[in-house]
Amino acid sequence: MAGSIAIVTGAAGDIGRAISLRLASDHDHVLLVDLDGDAAERAARAMGSADRFEAFACDITDTAQLERLAARAAALGTLSTLVNNAGAARAVSLHETTPDIWRMDNQLNLEAAYLTFRALAEQLKASRGSLINIASVNGLNVFGHPAYSAAKAGLIHFTRLVAVEYGKFGIRANAVAPGTVRTQAWEARAAANPNVFEEARRWYPLQKVVDPEDVAEAVAFLASPLARAISGVCLPVDCGLTAGQAELARTFSQSEHY
């Protein structure tokens, strides 16, 4: 990927940083896009030189700011990979979800991914580039955080929409659906219950949660020529969670082998 650029949104977060660092192995420049420009700048400087890692302060829900991002990417080189990674969840149950929370979660987790793709689609067409949307297991099954989950389910379908309509331009679009990843997004839950990761682990067939680097490896694979025939899929990176639960299989089958 000579002269190529990767854009990662939400790049100051734990998963975004891991993806940015990993994509630097296959791209010449990584644009670390985040609402928190200072945090993105700190992350970029921790990763390496300014000609390889560039921070870009941007609210991806704002089309004018996305136009500036597109202009910066065009000036920097050839956009090979766009990773829509920024996301957040605000309310844990439907009972606690207000109309504002519903709208905000959909705006950030679904609409902003569409807006970011829209701003950069011409550059991706020109380079026959790749789009990777960071969804969640919450978009595949019910695990709490309803507005976020509905938006992530929409994001998985948006991935298919791009794959089908833009495939003729050589654009591949895929999603990654992480399970529980130990990041700053879990701070409040970990503060309320220090055992939250231990308790989560027991539901995972591999009996562990996901590391940010695990997500980054899946993104790097989907962005690479190794995945040249893969488009429109959602790849769970979930230590087996969406395959099923051993405890449930043990109850249903009454077999001690689960």
Regarding 7 and contact with ligand NAD (CB under 6 A), the answer is no
- Using the structure block, give the residue that is written with the tokens 């991002």: 69
Separation between Cα atoms, residue 207 and residue 188, nearest integer Å: 23
Residue 152 is among the residues annotated as catalytic for this protein = yes
The active-site residue, picked from 125, 148, 166, 258, is 148
Q: How far is the CB of 253 from ligand NAD (least distance, A)?
A: 29
- Annotated active-site residue 148? The verdict is yes
Contact set for ligand NAD, span 130-169 (CB under 6 A): 134, 136
Please identify the residue of the shown chain whose CB is closest to the bound ligand NAD.
13
Closer by beta carbon to ligand NAD, 108 or else 147? 108
With binding defined as CB under 6 A, does residue 185 bind ligand NAD? yes
| Alpha carbon separation from 147 to 44, 52, 68 (Å, rounded) | 31, 36, 29
Which span sits near ligand NAD by CB under 6 A: 56-64, 166-174, 222-230, 240-248?
56-64
Do residues 58 and 65 touch, judged by C-beta distance below 8 A? yes
Find the shortest distance in angstroms from Cβ 252 to ligand NAD.
27
- Give the interface size with ligand NAD as a residue count (CB under 6 A): 28
Q: Which window, 14-22, 191-199, 217-225, 240-248, contacts ligand NAD (CB under 6 A)?
A: 14-22
Q: Write the DSSP symbol of residue 129.
A: -
Question: Which parts of 77-111 fold into alpha helices (H)?
Answer: 99-106
Q: Using the rule CB under 6 A, which residue among 4, 13, 173, 219 binds ligand NAD?
A: 13
Of residues 69-128, those binding ligand NAD (CB under 6 A):
85-88, 108
CA 67 to each of CA 44, 90, 115, 122, 226: distance values in angstroms, whole numbers, following the listed order: 21, 27, 10, 12, 31
Do 67 and 50 contact (CB within 8 A), yes or no? no
Question: What SS3 class is residue 21?
Answer: helix
Query: Which amino acids are annotated catalytic?
Result: 148, 152
